[in-house]
Structure 1
Amino acid sequence: MVVRDFEMDRLPFPLAVVVQGIYTIKTGRHVFYYEDQEKGPRSPETDRDSQSLEDVQRPYYAPVVTRDALQKIVGVARECSNGKHCVADWNARVHLAVLDLALHNPSFTERICFMNCNTAQLQPESLVPSWPHLTEYQLTSKMVDFVVCLRFDNDDDLECMRDILLESNPQSLSINQTLHDRLIAAPIALSIFTKRPDQTWDEAQLQISVWVAAQFKRLNQLVQCRWGGEWRKHAYDFLPFIIIDGHEWSFLAASLNGIGQTVICRKIMFSDTMTESGVQQILAVLHWIAVWVQRTYRRWFYESVLDMAMPGDGHY
């Protein structure tokens, strides 16, 4: 594993767009909160054919939420922090509520979904051999807490996915790096990990990085099955993930370098759950990433994995 800073001039363009949007939201300069939203929410432009990062400098409306909802999250987060609650409490009482506010709305529910997956384990064959030896405990313990996935309800899409799975590896009938029931036919786009208080940052980063490296391996298997020797032209450039450490939410991303090593871009701590405005910024970043999932990643998955045109245009 190689760890480095986010360097805008070295990032794949789709990742540069996502990162620039996160930095913009982090400053608060272009996020309009609930009291300013007279006309309702408006999505940012993240079309992969955009020619400039200026597209993400436009004013961006975060999801519309009530002040009561924000105050409740802040209050419960403080209770969890002051009471030194376990990760399970944070996930059930704070993080699930944040994800629900950000993602469970008509803009996304037909195309993406999120779920708790803290019992999902890696398939042994999806592990990358070059990674450090992992103990049995590490392999059977929690890998991540939540995932945001592409949603496929169309019978033709599901049939195409089944055919690809049979071709790529008949022994592994999952589109992902895990055989967790709910994730077999729901391609993961974003993984979220809640760090334990007794974990170091390096330990948390290693754990989710193993998960993401296995995801890269599985995606590349699927793309190779579809495109053969030209698969590298169709492989995706990066996979995003989030690590939550107490109140703080941080964005990271993984990519593969020319020799197949996993490269992790160091965290961007974009907000926290200590204030109402902090929670609203988290909602805005999640909403921003969800737009990328719905429009850019979903289009790539249709074209490069399923080898078919994406229904609709991905806009909403």
Structure 2
Amino acid sequence: MRDRTFILNWIETAHLSRDIQHTKDSETTGKRAYPSPEPEEMSDLTPERTKKRKTASTDEDDEVEDIDVETTPRALLMPSRPAPSPSSSPTKSSASIRSASLRSSSQASSSRASSSRRKLSNLSLVEHGVQRQQLNGPDTPNLPQPIVDALKTIQRLERGKHVLASILDRSRLTSLLDVNDLDDRAFATDRDVGSHLSPDDVDEILADAERCFKMDHDEGVWNVEVHQYLLKKVLRRSGSSRLVDFTLCTTAPIIRDYLPPRAAEKRVDFCFFIDPSCDPSYKPRIETLVKLLPEMSISHTSYGPLRVRPTTVSLETKRPGNDFDGAILQISVWQSAHWVMLRSLLGRTWPGKQACGLSRKDYANKGLRELGALHGIVVQGHDWIYVATSPAFVDEEGRESTRTVSFGDFAGEFGSPD
């Protein structure tokens, strides 16, 4: 084997030869040589062909929305800005620039909010679309039982009941109980109920959230600094079964088969999932089912880590005061696709009318009714807001429907459920 010094000398020689040849080529052509982008960069730089203006109305004119995929931002390859010449006009003051930036940001936020409301409105008109419904508490008419149960849990926590796990050291919580006027009812009687976070954990999370707020960080920083850490402390604590876990899923695309007609896909920031490796009974059933489904995925996304891990709760995050309607739109489209996938799965596993006494459609509807709801959370800065969706089997006129009802904006008698 050649020694390391020989290899390094060979590399230096190769680089020098390449540079000399490159210089000769440039002198021969008499043209300035520019570095070429890598192939993967070329795909980002290649502009799309401009479409000709339509002279007649088509279905595409009535699209629910333009292609607006929520993806992780990528760096754009842009030419460097030329340095200002000495003769250029005087530089604006930093205060003026900041003021203009704030106005521009405010206008952009207003435009996004208006666009999100329009898209939500349009989405209610299409098959497999989404209809919004105000969530006024457990007594909201026609509310599925799983949502009623979730709201009652929220109200119980607001009253300070069963907030803390019974195994926590009460001597370390004296100050917390006193400041918040809590008594022994704050401790759960069931070992698996209540928060297991220690006072130190809570202080650290609060400090990180306060820092993100004061520094006006974007949602990506909130996700890393606050949300990821909190979810990890809750779902991956020592001694838990880990059957239910979570993942960041900002790059998880919805499978096109499950999207509402003419709707652009939307993505969410986090989702909970069932990990079949923690329960041997799940794995063989999932392996059988994925063979029947698009992209061989048990979920409504083709994202690799979730193809054999059924998704459950969805979380969409926003920075404080930023585009709440956009968050509702994202989580609504995401969960609407989830319902379409579940309906398709039930239809594919229908045992036949002779075996179950139900038609394929009634068999699927029965399964969806038994599930009842998909739960979600919109996180906007410090505020955690409960949302949920459920299938709509009939519309307002009593006709059959495959749309999804999105329940949100809940603020109960005892305040916001965040």
Taking structure 1 as the reference length, what is the TM-score of the superposition?
0.70
Structure 1 segments (4+ residues) deviating >4 Å = 33-39, 58-61, 196-199
Cα shift at 1:109: 3.3
Q: Aligned partners of 2:251 and 2:317: how far apart in 1? A: 13
The 8 Å contact of residues 134 and 410 in structure 2, kept in 1 or not, is answered as no
CA RMSD of aligned residues (A): 3.0
CA spacing shift, 1:199–1:31, aligned 2, 3 Å: closer
The equivalent residue for 1:83 is 215
Instruction: Say whether 1:8 aligns with 2:138.
Output: yes
Cα shift at 1:107: 5.8
Q: 2:341 aligns with which of 185, 205, 218?
A: 218
The equivalent residue for 1:268 is 410
Cα shift at 1:201: 1.5
Q: 2:388 aligns with which of 243, 247, 253?
A: 253
Q: Deviation per CA, 1:88-124: give whole Å up to 9, x if none.
A: 1100110011111211125643411111111111111
Which structure 2 residues correspond to residues 136-147 of structure 1 after superposition, within 5 A? 139=265, 143-147=267-271
The equivalent residue for 1:179 is 302
CA spacing shift, 1:76–1:148, aligned 2, 3 Å: same
The 8 Å contact of residues 222 and 319 in structure 2, kept in 1 or not, is answered as no
Instruction: Say whether 1:17 aligns with 2:149.
Output: yes
Q: Secondary structure at the match of 2:296?
A: coil
Cα shift at 1:66: 2.1
Q: Aligned partners of 2:411 and 2:228: how far apart in 1? A: 19
Q: Aligned partners of 2:202 and 2:281: how far apart in 1? A: 40
Q: Aligned partners of 2:200 and 2:267: how far apart in 1? A: 33
Q: Aligned partners of 2:366 and 2:157: how far apart in 1? A: 32
Cα shift at 1:13: 1.8
Q: Aligned partners of 2:290 and 2:189: how far apart in 1? A: 42
When the two structures are aligned, how many residues end up with a matched partner? 247
Q: Aligned partners of 1:243 and 1:119: how far apart in 2? A: 18
Q: Aligned partners of 2:410 and 2:167: how far apart in 1? A: 27
Cα shift at 1:15: 2.1
Q: Secondary structure at the match of 2:331?
A: helix
Which structure 2 residues correspond to residues 122-161 of structure 1 after superposition, within 5 A? 122-129=254-261, 133-134=262-263, 139=265, 143-153=267-277, 157-161=282-286
CA spacing shift, 1:100–1:19, aligned 2, 3 Å: same
Amino acid at match of 1:219: L
Q: Aligned partners of 1:68 and 1:159: how far apart in 2? A: 41
Structure 2 gap ranges (5+): 1-129, 172-187, 351-359, 394-400
The equivalent residue for 1:243 is 378
Q: Deviation per CA, 1:126-164: give whole Å up to 9, x if none.
A: 1022xxx445xxx3xx61111111110156532321222
The equivalent residue for 1:165 is 290
Q: Aligned partners of 2:149 and 2:281: how far apart in 1? A: 32
The 8 Å contact of residues 165 and 222 in structure 1, kept in 2 or not, is answered as no
Amino acid at match of 1:256: P
CA spacing shift, 1:88–1:260, aligned 2, 3 Å: same
* Greater strand share, structure number: 1
CA spacing shift, 1:38–1:199, aligned 2, 3 Å: closer
The 8 Å contact of residues 32 and 59 in structure 1, kept in 2 or not, is answered as no
Q: Aligned partners of 1:108 and 1:144: how far apart in 2? A: 25
Q: Deviation per CA, 1:52-98: give whole Å up to 9, x if none.
A: xxxxxx76752222222111111111110010111111001100111
Cα shift at 1:165: 2.1
The 8 Å contact of residues 248 and 269 in structure 1, kept in 2 or not, is answered as no
Amino acid at match of 2:227: H
CA spacing shift, 1:59–1:22, aligned 2, 3 Å: farther
Instruction: Say whether 1:105 aligns with 2:237.
Output: yes
The equivalent residue for 1:308 is none
Taking structure 2 as the reference length, what is the TM-score of the superposition?
0.54
Q: 1:232 aligns with which of 355, 365, 368?
A: 365
Amino acid at match of 1:234: G
Give me the identity figure in percent.
25
Instruction: Say whether 1:192 aligns with 2:315.
Output: yes
The 8 Å contact of residues 116 and 146 in structure 1, kept in 2 or not, is answered as yes
Amino acid at match of 1:114: F
The equivalent residue for 1:48 is none
Question: Rg: which structure is higher?
Answer: 2
